[in-house]
Amino acid sequence: MKAKSPNSIDVYVGNRVRVRRKTLGMTQHGLAELLGITFQQIQKYEKGTNRIGASRLQRISEILRVPVGFFFENGGSGPIEGETSELNKFLSSKEGLALNKAFIAIEDPNIRQKLVALAKSLAVAGMPDIDSELQDPVAHN
């Protein structure tokens, strides 16, 4: 008998749990302890292997200090292909998480804008063919 593969929505929700948990600097063991379950169960939730029930998801949202809707992009209609999956990949990476935390810590909006401009210029310098993708549509309208 073939093993059932995880549902894409369960994988997406699990990934959102992982991203938020890591953003808060919480371990799987720490989250599991607060939920009264094993860290292995958290691993299964985050991989989408096991589905998270509604009451458990509500408790996870309280612990991670986000609304339940956080786990469902677009008001619960599920993941958007392309940009959302790229963003999740980025936020799941060690570098992406570190960059996100550092960026959020910058309070001055001018410094944030300069950092974004620097990142765009570095990306364009490394890959000239993506210049148009990084153009700010607001600035050019």
Give pLDDT tens digits for 47-58: 999 999 999 999
Q: Which of 85, 81, 98, 20 lies closest to 52, judged by CA?
A: 20
Inform me whether the pLDDT recorded for 30 exceeds 50.
yes
Of 36 and 88, the one with more pLDDT = 36
Of the pLDDT bands very low, low, confident and very high (cuts 50, 70, 90), residue 80 is: very low
Report how far residue 121's alpha carbon sits from residue 16's, in angstroms, rounded to the nearest whole number: 29
Smallest Cα–Cα separation from 11: which of 55, 36, 43?
43
Rounded alpha-carbon distances, angstroms, from residue 21 to 25, 49, 92, 104, 137: 6, 18, 10, 16, 33
Q: Which residue's entry shows tokens 């990476």?
A: 93
Helix (H) / strand (E) element for 7: namely none
DSSP string, 96-129: HHHHHHHHHH---HHHHHHHHHHHHHHHHHH-GG
**Amino acid sitting at position 124:** V
Share of the chain above pLDDT 90, in %: 34
Is the model's pLDDT at 128 over the cut of 70? no
Mind listing the pLDDT tens digit for each residue in 84-111? 566 667 777 788 878 878 888 888 888 9
Per-residue pLDDT at 37: 97
pTM over 0.75: no
**Higher-confidence position of 131 and 91:** 91
pLDDT of 7 higher than 50: yes
What is the structure's pLDDT at 109?
A: 85
**pLDDT value of position 13:** 92
